[in-house]
């Protein structure tokens, strides 16, 4: 069976940046499972998986526009240290949820300069090319229920 809309796909992946540093991998654990055509994985990877089958191995380099987005300068802001009341020591790399007019946003502390904290609301991998090494391990038809929910049920998926 080929990967197409309305199929459920299991695959192993290793994700590296352009320096060859491994950022994430499913090797040694369970494969990732997703419903194809539902936008559940980054667009560039979903496109590259289209038409593949069980046992296929390939590499794909995904541009930021098809990955976690380009880095948006307006999502980087300086906020006063006092905005982190209750946090003992604010340090670069810490992640917080911020209430914004557009809703809750995940932000990462980029740096702390005196009483000023620079926070970045971009995805940590925004602006980066994503180098995936992929191995497709299973493809099956999605159930009617999975299609109506827009995600996979069972092992590796939603359990509800
Ligand atoms: Zn569901």
Q: Do 45 and 91 belong together in one domain?
A: no
| Domain around 137 | 7-68+126-149
Contacts (Cβ under 8 Å, ≥6 apart) of 42 = 62, 66, 67, 68, 130
The Cα–Cα gap between 24 and 116 comes to 32
Q: Cα(123) to centroid of ligand 1, in Å?
A: 25
Specify if 138 maps to a domain: yes
The CATH number of residue 23's host domain is 3.10.50.40
Residue 104 within any structural domain of the chain: yes
13 domain-assigned:
yes
Integer Cα distance of 20 and 41 in angstroms: 21
Asked if the structure places residue 42 within a domain, the reply is yes
Number of domains in the chain: 2
> Distance from the CA of 159 to the center of ligand 1, in angstroms?
7
- Domain assignment present for residue 156? The answer is no
Same domain as 98, residue 23: no
CA distances from 61 to 10, 37, 38, 65 (A): 20, 19, 21, 12
- The CATH code of the domain that includes 113 is 2.40.10.330
Query: What is the tens place of the pLDDT at every residue in 61-109?
Result: 999 999 999 999 999 999 999 999 889 899 999 999 988 787 888 999 9
How many angstroms separate the alpha carbon of residue 63 from the centre of ligand 1? 30
Percent of the chain with pLDDT over 70: 100
Do 62 and 87 share a structural domain?
no
What was the pLDDT predicted at 102? Answer: 79
Q: Do 59 and 134 fall within a single domain?
A: yes
- CB-based neighbours (< 5 A) of ligand 1, an ion: 149, 158
Percent of the chain's residues with pLDDT above 90: 88
141: CA distance to ligand 1 center in Å?
15
CA distance linking residue 129 with residue 109, whole number of Å: 22
- Mean per-residue pLDDT of the chain: 95
CA distance 111 to 119: 7
Q: Are residues 79 and 59 in the same domain?
A: no
31 and 79 together in one domain? no
CA of 62 to the centre of ligand 1 (A): 28
Domain-located, residue 159: no
């Amino acid at each position: 069976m080929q990967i197409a809309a309305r199929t459920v796909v299991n695959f192993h992946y290793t994700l590296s940046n352009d320096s060859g540093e491994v950022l994430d991998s499913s090797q040694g654990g369970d494969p990732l499972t997703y419903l194809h055509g539902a936008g559940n994985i980054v667009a560039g990877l979903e496109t590259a998986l289209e038409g593949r089958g069980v046992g296929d191995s390939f590499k794909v380099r995904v541009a930021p526009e098809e990955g976690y987005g380009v880095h948006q300068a307006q999502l980087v802001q300086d906020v006063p240290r006092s905005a982190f009341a209750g946090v003992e020591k604010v340090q670069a790399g810490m992640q917080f949820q911020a209430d914004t007019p557009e809703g809750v946003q995940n932000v990462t502390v980029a740096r702390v300069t005196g009483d000023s904290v620079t926070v970045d609301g971009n995805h940590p991998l925004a602006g980066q090319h994503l180098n995936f090494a992929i191995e497709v391990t299973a493809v099956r038809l999605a159930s009617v229920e999975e299609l109506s929910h827009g995600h996979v049920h069972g092992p590796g998926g939603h359990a509800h």
